[in-house]
Amino acid sequence: MGHYFDTRPDIGFIPITIPEAVLEENQETTSEEETKILADTQETSLGAPLLDLDISQSAVTTIDNQAFVKHEQQLVSLLQAVFEKSQEYPGYFLVISKGTSAAWLSKIYAEKTLVSPDAFVMVSPYCPDRKHNQRLPEWIAITPMPVLDLHSSWDNGWARKTVSRRQIAAVKALKLQYRQRELLGFTMHQQHSAYIGKEIYGWISHMGW
């Protein structure tokens, strides 16, 4: 979901890009120290605000149950439409998603709410809610399709919190064709996108696509 890398139609990819569903959140429950850090917003080298606030430890819940269900329904509707459109073309069906969408799709595919793609690439997956974020490794481990799990040191606290647990859960579940890779050394969008593209091409080539 979203256009995160060069899809290069010349080598056979037919990209279908869909907008990210909007997630409504409640106000986060943070500690006094975190509130202070939030006020002292840092600046990145590009001049954009950097809010790398690790609320995964202190926030009890940031997502209303009604908003959670609504967001999931939006994703299911979007992905169902994409799947139906993909049937017009021959070949494999690869889903690439990032952040909260990647986490929700892990849940959706784990529960078999949608037909599973031939492979699933998740970039920095997380759910901004302690209860659901803790279940993310479990959802990933029981998804039926091959999964490429990409992460980096630039991920937010929610995503970093589950990196090792995601891999451990996949190993314990004897999940086949699960690969976790760390993205290193790239912060510019263009370089980062090219790096992600190479990781995806290498992975699907290894699977024989």
Q: What is the pLDDT of residue 29?
A: 41
CB 85 within 8 A of CB 118: no
Break the chain into its structural domains and give their ranges. Answer: 9-206
Give domain 9-206's CATH architecture. 3-Layer(aba) Sandwich (3.40)
Full-model pTM: 0.76
Among 36-45, 87-96, 125-134, which stretch is predicted with the lowest mean pLDDT? 36-45
Closest CA to 181 of 193, 199, 165: 199
pLDDT (tens digit per residue) in 148-189: 999 999 899 999 999 999 999 999 999 989 999 999 876 556
Q: How far is CA 147 from the centre of its chain?
A: 11
Identity of residue 200: I
Dihedral sign, Cα of residue 204, residue 100, residue 183, residue 135 = negative
Q: Which residue has the higher pLDDT, 2 or 47?
A: 2
Instruction: Report the distance separating Cα 57 and Cα 63, nearest Å.
Output: 15
